[in-house]
Amino acid sequence: MPTARPGRRSAALAVSAALAVALLAGGCSSGGPAAEDAADAKITLTVNLFSEFGYADLYKQYEQLHPNITIKENRADLGAHHQNLRAHLLAGSGTADIEAIEIGQVAGFQPQASKFVDFLQYGVSKDQWVPSKTAPASSADGKALFGLGTDMGGLALCYRSDLFKAAGLPTDRDQVSALLADWPAYTAAGKQFLAKSPTKGAKWFDSAGNLFSAIVAQSPTGFYDASGKPVVQENPAVKQAFDLVAGAVKDGQSAGIQAFTPAWDTGFQKSQFATVACPAWMSYEFKGNPPTDGGTWDIARIPGGGGNWGGSYLTVPKSGKHTKAAVELAKWLTAPEQESWLFKNKGYFPSDQALWSQPDIAGFTDPLFNGAPTGKIFSQSAKDLQPQPLGAHGAEIGTAVGNALTSIEQGKADPATAWQKALADVANITG
């Protein structure tokens, strides 16, 4: 289940002199429509986002390259942002120059592709991204591209090596990857952890919803089939994921802490769980909430192979005030140089597929995760990804199923009752 990146990420790191030179070199080659759009006067480009994309330092660089341009960023929460965009598109006015769309929402905007600029008309090539990234942000006939891929949520498994050691589990990341080769093996190791861990109160994973999201994200078919039909009830992969997670909850493996809440932050700090299914963008949480007991996080391959959870697009509505200049900014923000910098400095894994094999990405290591080769791990996860059909209400469906699992965690429902409630909620969502 793709999900939105929360708006609570670590503060920006200073841009190095080397980066400044690289961005200046990249920016000087842009030119084109942006210069024509802004040649006669100073303009302000507005960018509407639903969370922290890590762009602050890049905006400054772009403004230095284009002295007549000022960039203003606005943020709303996930739901309000996309609701506002739909309303403004319907009205034909009120959009920002650039509007972000989350991957779980983008299919709902595909019927309105004609209301956005077609980036293919501005020199963009779809080859910059894998087809699974461009297809959801293309028109139904595939002839127009209305969204440029930003990051993607390549999946890995973050684990507390010190808690593993205390419970008699291997700590070497290759051995951990081998032990947790698939999700049944993962939950079996969870039972061992609970039986042998001397750490009082530590659970195997943070929340049922997070675990379910990671498992479903690996399936060739998730909540929708290739025709755009909702298949939550018909797709056995969804029910199998639900049952596996519900079983782990009943075994006491979940800390029952809802993700992206203050309680989740405390869970990281107080060592309340030993593993987290972590897409690349989640690194902000580990940076912002180190364990108070001095424990260390490491990172291994995700059980079951590759997968993607999250990611976004930048779009330029035709109703914006400065479409040509906005196109150039969107192209620049999603160019290889900027996506590479965002990964190395912010942890946002690039959707630009050529970067996955570049030495500075594939060989990148992160001291936050005990020097783990995060570039290699996330790159391999992206390469192993099986493209999954997306639908208009994927995000809402994921929330409905996640809420059902939460009701099991809270002791308010048994698995069978929770599943039926999830199906009823999905039916209401999809009509």
pLDDT exceeds 90 at position 355: yes
pLDDT digits (tens, 9 = 90+) for 53-98: 999 999 999 999 999 999 999 999 988 999 999 999 999 999 999 9
pLDDT exceeds 80 at position 2: no
CB burial of residue 421 (10 Å; 0-12, 13-18, 19+): middle
Token output for 179: 């032990």
pLDDT exceeds 50 at position 30: no
Which residues touch 48 (CB under 8 Å, ≥6 apart)? Answer: 73, 74, 75, 76, 81, 84, 85, 95, 96, 98, 99, 100
More confident residue, 352 or 308: 352
Using alpha carbons, select from 141, 140, 75, 69 the residue that is nearest to residue 102. 75
Confidence of residue 381 (pLDDT cuts 50, 70, 90): confident
pLDDT digits (tens, 9 = 90+) for 400-419: 999 999 999 999 999 999 99
| Cα radius of gyration rounded to whole Å, the chain | 22
**Contact by Cβ (8 Å): 396, 431:** no
Using alpha carbons, select from 352, 318, 299 the residue that is nearest to residue 155. 299
Confidence of residue 365 (pLDDT cuts 50, 70, 90): very high
Nearest-angstrom CA–CA distance, 167 and 159: 13
pLDDT exceeds 80 at position 280: yes
pLDDT digits (tens, 9 = 90+) for 105-164: 998 999 999 999 999 999 999 999 988 889 899 999 999 999 999 998 888 999 999 999
Mean pLDDT of 297-321: 92
pTM over 0.85: no
Residue-range domains of the chain with CATH:
17-152+311-362 (3.40.190.10), 154-309+368-430 (3.40.190.10)
Confidence of residue 228 (pLDDT cuts 50, 70, 90): confident
Token output for 322: 């400065």
pLDDT exceeds 50 at position 246: yes
Nearest-angstrom CA–CA distance, 53 and 67: 23
Residue 49 sits at φ, ψ, to 5 deg, of -125, 170
Nearest-angstrom CA–CA distance, 114 and 101: 15
Nearest-angstrom CA–CA distance, 291 and 271: 6
Nearest-angstrom CA–CA distance, 368 and 411: 35
pLDDT of residue 39: 57
pLDDT exceeds 60 at position 269: yes
pLDDT of residue 38: 44
Q: Report residue 140 CA to chain centroid gap.
A: 24
pLDDT of residue 431: 84
What mean pLDDT, rounded, does the chain reach?
A: 88
Nearest-angstrom CA–CA distance, 91 and 209: 36
Distances (CA, A) of 364 to 248, 354, 375: 34, 15, 5
Confidence of residue 20 (pLDDT cuts 50, 70, 90): very low
Distance between the two ends of the chain, CA-based, in angstroms? Answer: 20
What is the share, in percent, of the chain residues with pLDDT greater than 70?
91
